[in-house]
Amino acid sequence: MAKPLAAGAESPWVSATPELVARLRSEGARGLARAISAVERGDASAPELVRLISAEAPSPAVVGLTGAPGSGKSSLAGAVVAELRGRGHRVAVLAVDPSSPFSGGALLGDRIRLQRHAQDEGVYIRSLAARGHLGGLSPVIRDAIRLVAGFGFGTVILETVGVGQSELEVASVAETTIVVLAPGFGDGIQLMKAGVMEIADIYCLNKADLSGADQLRGDLRGFIASLHKRPWPPPLVATVATTGQGVGDLWEAVERHRAQLADFPEAEGRRSKRLCDEAAELVAGWARLQAGRILREDSSLRQELEADNDPQAVLARLAERLRWTGPGGTR
Amino acid sequence: MVARSLRDAGFEVIYTGLRQTPAMVVEAALQEDAGVIGLSLHSGAHMTLIPALLQELRRRDAEDIVVFAGGIMPAADVAELKALGVAEVFTPGTPLAAITEWLRSRFGPRG
């Protein structure tokens, strides 16, 4: 199936109203999907729509799932969903894939492995593409989380394909991040991209039934021991996603981590930092768009920039001209 | 391969994979807010699967989603499927550019 990525305003509605929200809610999963599309497109009505839909919805538990291609991460996501459904959770899976930087299209293949849950009303699965949205990928993810919460989903799994910067962004949005590795790819840990291993709150050794699993477990234990300045060491959980083995333990580890977050003052610090980061990202994205517009419209400024080859020299003048005129100014 | 061409033409493409029931395909389309469903069928089951899919779209109040198909089938079947509501059928050998151009003309994506 395909979604056309039309530029600019393709919004099917003009503004966000309680009537629109009621209509979207009556459409069930499709209404939720339409609201998320509005966020992806950067519609002017999107922020208000998110606010209306998510008002009074409790914050969901957000778990990030990241790992190299071949780690069985998507199968694991499916197994975690099954585990959570068994516990009575309503679960949303947001699968994050980078867009092609050249055309704006995306191949969102994660959905294949999660399809067994397609008919369960308590599961919502959505692919999110980063489309150069204001502020980057994270604001889209955060608003999508608020929207699914507003539609009654209490647990969100954020999954990445493992390309580009999506892992770090997922880790900054998720409360608990699981990094998945699997044996059989030579030196497992070395294959992980720089910085990804360090973001884990939990390490998951998937395909634990394959040969090489013990070796990888030993390598992981050594790696964990080498990490310093942690209030608590990240646990290592072994799973076989295709049989469900260990998946219950994995979720228990998530719940222990969440309990630890709640008990330590660091939890409030993390939440505060997340919110501050998000606010700063929004401002940065807005400023970028405004600066681009100013430069396009002011030929003398552009000529000066081209003559001096020095963006720093025009910084002050550009910054002075930035002016907030309301959410419409973000497009 | 078709998916890659579509992506290069600026569409978002979501694979649902093989052996999906019509109900599963429609549910995925709804959750993803897809505007188009493209079916690639090689099993000869198109005269049962495609009408079932169209019916499921009606049942879910989602007839606005456009359906096109590709695969080996006799001309009579193509005609019947179009009469049932399939927007276009691409037989094997159709250049990929023709498919992306058709989609572009209907939906006008950026780029």
Nearest by CB: A119 against B16, B24, B62: B24
Nearest CA in chain A to B109: A6
Q: How many CB pairs under 8 A join A and B?
A: 130
Residue A265's pLDDT is what? 66
Q: Which residues of B touch A106 (CB under 8 A)?
A: 7, 12-13
Residue A106's pLDDT is what? 37
Q: Measured between CA atoms, how close is B48 to chain A, in angstroms?
A: 19
Kindly list the domain boundaries of chain A, sorted by start residue.
13-55, 57-264, 270-322
Backbone angles phi, psi at B50, to 5 degrees: -70, -50
A156 half-sphere exposure, CB direction, 13 A CA radius: 28
Q: Which residues of B touch A125 (CB under 8 A)?
A: 28, 31
Which of B6, B33, B39 is best to mutate for the A interface (most A CBs within 10 A)? B33
Residue B26's pLDDT is what? 87
What is the DSSP pairing of strand A155-160 with strand A176-181? unpaired
Cross-chain Cβ contact B16/A6 below 8 Å: no
Average pLDDT over every residue of A225-244: 84
The rounded mean pLDDT for chain A is 81
Does residue B87 carry a pLDDT above 70?
yes
Delineate the domains of chain B, giving CATH numbers in brackets.
Answer: 2-103 (3.40.50.280)
Does residue B59 carry a pLDDT above 80?
yes
Q: How far apart are CA A300 and CA A309, in angstroms?
A: 14
Q: Which residues of B touch A118 (CB under 8 A)?
A: 20, 23-24, 27-28
Average pLDDT over every residue of B14-40: 77
Residue A120's pLDDT is what? 81
Residue A208 DSSP code? T
Q: Measured between CA atoms, how close is B13 to chain A, in angstroms?
A: 5
Which of A1, A32, A91 is best to mutate for the B interface (most B CBs within 10 A)? A1
- Identify the sign of the CA torsion B75, B76, B82, B86: negative
Stronger pLDDT, A151 or B48, i.e. the higher one: A151
Stronger pLDDT, A160 or A91, i.e. the higher one: A91
What is the DSSP pairing of strand A61-67 with strand A176-181? parallel
Residue A302's pLDDT is what? 87
Backbone angles phi, psi at A18, to 5 degrees: -55, -30
Does residue A96 carry a pLDDT above 50?
yes
Give the 3-state secondary structure of chain B: CHHHHHHHCCEEEECCCCCCCHHHHHHHHHHHCCCEEEEEECCCCHHHHHHHHHHHHHHCCCCCCEEEEEECCCHHHHHHHHHHCCCEEECCCCCHHHHHHHHHHHHCCCC
Q: How many CB atoms lie within 10 A of CB A6?
A: 15
Chain B window 4-33: which residues touch A at a Cβ cutoff of 8 Å?
A: 4, 6-17, 20, 23-25, 27-33
Nearest by CB: A6 against B25, B37, B108: B108
Topology of the domain covering A57-264: Rossmann fold (3.40.50)
- pTM for the full predicted model: 0.80
- Is B7 in contact with A106 (CB distance < 8 Å)? yes
Q: Which residues of A touch B20 (CB under 8 A)?
A: 115, 118
- Is A1 in contact with B36 (CB distance < 8 Å)? yes
CA A157, A162, A165, A171: dihedral to nearest 10 degrees?
A: 30
The reply to whether B63 touches chain A by the CB within 8 Å rule is no
- Identify the sign of the CA torsion B91, B96, B98, B99: positive
Q: What phi-psi label fits residue A139: left (phi over 0), alpha (psi between -120 and 50 degrees) or beta?
A: alpha
Q: Residues B44-49: contacts with CB within 8 Å, 24+ apart?
A: B44/B72, B44/B73, B46/B71, B46/B73, B46/B77, B46/B81, B47/B77, B47/B80, B47/B81, B49/B22
Q: What is the pLDDT of residues A26-81, one digit of tens each?
A: 999 999 999 998 888 888 899 999 999 999 999 999 999 988 777 888 889 889 99
Q: What is the pLDDT of residues A271-301, one digit of tens each?
A: 677 778 777 877 887 888 888 889 889 998 8
- Is B19 in contact with B36 (CB distance < 8 Å)? no
- For residue B33, give the nearest of A24, A150, A43, A115 by alpha carbon: A24
B9-45 burial: b if 16+ Cβ within 10 Å, else e: bbbbbbbbeeebebebbbbbbbbbbbbbbbbeeeeee
Lowest mean pLDDT among A62-66, A153-157, A228-232: A228-232
Residue A229's pLDDT is what? 57
Q: How far apart are CA A257 and CA A274, in angstroms?
A: 17
Does residue A191 carry a pLDDT above 70?
no
Average pLDDT over every residue of A166-189: 80
